[in-house]
């Protein structure tokens, strides 16, 4: 059944494994033990993935312990450009003071959308865990 969904070689392997498991596991108790074992394996895998994610964050934070001047300049330029685009879009869509072609609207909207996806990163840079705590 699942083998058909997966298809190809993996599907055939899974079908064979499923048949072998049906021969090996014959009682409800064995099925429950197998399910518990699989759940334990999945939880262990999740735990390991989370530990790697945490370790990766630690590595990233250690890179930015001391803020470089270029980081501050780029973050400031990004913020200024983001608010500039917001102002242009406000004038066009709300006040109707700016004349833009369809191409320009599409371009500005695309850039604004991409920048909006990164605003949280910039806010975290200025105010989040990466910023220096002056009380220390």
Give 57-114 pLDDT, tens digit per residue. Answer: 776 556 666 667 787 788 888 889 888 888 888 888 888 888 888 888 888 889 888 8
Six-digit token string for 120: 């949280």
Please give the pLDDT value at position 136: 45
Residues 19 and 53 in one domain: yes
Residues 79 and 103 in one domain: yes
Residues 112 and 76 in one domain: yes
- Residue ranges of alpha helices (H) inside the chain are 2-6, 8-24, 28-63, 69-90, 102-127
Residues 117 and 71 in one domain: yes
Residues 75 and 100 in one domain: yes
**In the predicted model, is pLDDT for residue 14 greater than 50?**
yes
In a domain, 106, yes or no: yes
67: DSSP letter: -
CB neighbour burial string for 47-80, b if at least 16 within 10 angstroms, e if fewer: eeeeeeeeeeeeeeeeeeeeeeeeeeeebeebbe
Instruction: Decide if 129 contacts 61 (C-beta within 8 A).
Output: yes
Question: What angle in degrees, to the nearest 10, is found between the helix axes of 102-127 and 69-90?
Answer: 140
**CA–CA separation, 45 and 57 (whole Å):** 18
Q: What is the pTM of this model?
A: 0.42
Residues 15 and 50 in one domain: yes
Instruction: Express as a percent the part of the chain with pLDDT over 70.
Output: 68
* Rounded alpha-carbon distances, angstroms, from residue 77 to 1, 70, 114, 127: 56, 10, 15, 16
Q: Name the pLDDT band for 28 (thresholds 50, 70, 90).
A: confident
Q: Which of 33, 58, 83 is the last residue of a domain?
A: 58
Residues 30 and 75 in one domain: no
Which domain, by its residues, includes 38? 2-58
In a domain, 6, yes or no: yes
Residues 93 and 120 in one domain: yes
């Amino acid at each position: 059944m699942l083998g058909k969904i997966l298809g190809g070689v993996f599907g055939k392997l899974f079908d064979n494994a499923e048949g072998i498991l049906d021969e090996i596991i014959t009682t409800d108790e064995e099925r429950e033990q197998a399910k518990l074992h699989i759940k334990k394996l999945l939880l262990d895998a999740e735990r390991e993935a989370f530990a790697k994610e945490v370790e990766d964050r630690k590595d990233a934070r250690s890179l930015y312990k001391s803020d470089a001047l270029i980081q501050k300049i780029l973050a400031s330029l990004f913020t200024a450009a983001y608010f500039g685009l917001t102002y242009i879009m406000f004038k066009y869509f709300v006040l109707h003071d700016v004349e833009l072609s369809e191409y320009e609207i599409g371009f500005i909207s695309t850039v604004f959308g991409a920048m909006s996806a990164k605003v949280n990163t910039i806010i975290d840079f200025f105010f989040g865990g990466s910023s220096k705590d002056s009380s220390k």
